[in-house]
Amino acid sequence: MALIIYIAVMLAVSLAGAYLPFIRKLEDNQIHLLIALSAGIFLGILFFLLLPEAIHECEEAAIEEKYMMIAVVGGFLLILLADVLIKHFHMASCPCECHQEEHRHRMGSLSAFIGLAVHAFFDGLLLTAGLMAGGDFGWMALAGMCIHKFVELFSLSSTFLLSDDDKWHIMRYLVAFSLITPVGAIISFLAFNGALEEGIAGIPLAFSAGTFMYVSFCHMVPEAFHREHQDLRSFVLLMIGIAIAAAVFMLFGHAH
């Protein structure tokens, strides 16, 4: 019963974060400023959550650093390869560049989705671990997880604003993403039955960090400074995004 309550609360918070950027229609310059804020949050997720979490999990499992770095590079190169192939086949079928920016935006959104999805599944393991710990510890873990999910869904939702997809089509992606952590929690609860092993998430989290590096530096940050005459505002919002992520993950970091 406690697990069901945990999942219901977290799902409601996640969907609220996903829907917030869609409350009112934004102009192009406003969307790009929102992307600057989200880019900062993505950088914060990368440096304050994914990489430290991957390092911790690999250390617990006695995985050598070189294998973790291979996973990081592998994640980066996989998304880069997917990006290159999409552009290649698109340009082969459409020599003009009429839809190139639209495809780049969609690729950035899907790349972010993949990177966060890997991490979201293992968030389910951590949620189950908090539940198994019992008492106030479990509710503290839930509070921290809810804030993480709100920030992540808000940022992911913002990236989809640039893809020009139908609003309800985008919401299907976001609802599917919101369900990944609950599914991970249920699977881990049934599969491990109180015997979660430290380090199980190390390599997947390192791989996810690699995808985030590509998305953050090759899609999000360039897009944040894509429009003229708002570089300074974009930079300020980028820093605010980093500060938000830093505050969230330092105050409500995952319990180990």
Give SS3 for 75. Answer: helix
Average pLDDT on 22-37 reads 76
Give me the pLDDT at residue 70, please.
95
In this model, does residue 15 exceed pLDDT 80?
yes
CA distance 18 to 195: 33
What is the Cβ-side half-sphere exposure of residue 137, based on CA atoms within 13 angstroms?
Answer: 13
Contacts of 103 (CB under 8 A, 6+ apart): 86, 87, 90
In this model, does residue 116 exceed pLDDT 60?
yes
User: Tokens at residue 132, please?
Assistant: 């198994």
Average pLDDT on 98-127 reads 66
Long-range contacts of 27-30 (CB under 8 A, 24+ apart): 28/227, 29/227, 29/230
In this model, does residue 101 exceed pLDDT 80?
no
Average pLDDT on 71-92 reads 77
Is the pTM of the predicted complex or chain greater than 0.85?
Answer: no
Give me the pLDDT at residue 240, please.
92
What pLDDT band is residue 197 in, cutting at 50, 70 and 90? low
Give me the pLDDT at residue 33, please.
81
Alpha helices (H) along 61-196? 65-93, 100-133, 135-160, 167-192
In this model, does residue 96 exceed pLDDT 80?
no
Sign, Cα dihedral of 10, 11, 17, 18: positive
User: Could you tell me what percent of the chain has a pLDDT over 70?
Assistant: 72
Give me the pLDDT at residue 139, please.
67
Model confidence pLDDT, tens digit, residues 49-81? 778 888 888 888 888 889 999 999 998 998 788
In this model, does residue 166 exceed pLDDT 70?
yes
Most confident of 22-26, 184-188, 240-244: 240-244
Give SS3 for 229. Answer: coil
Q: Where do the structural domains in the chain lie, given as residue ranges?
A: 27-251
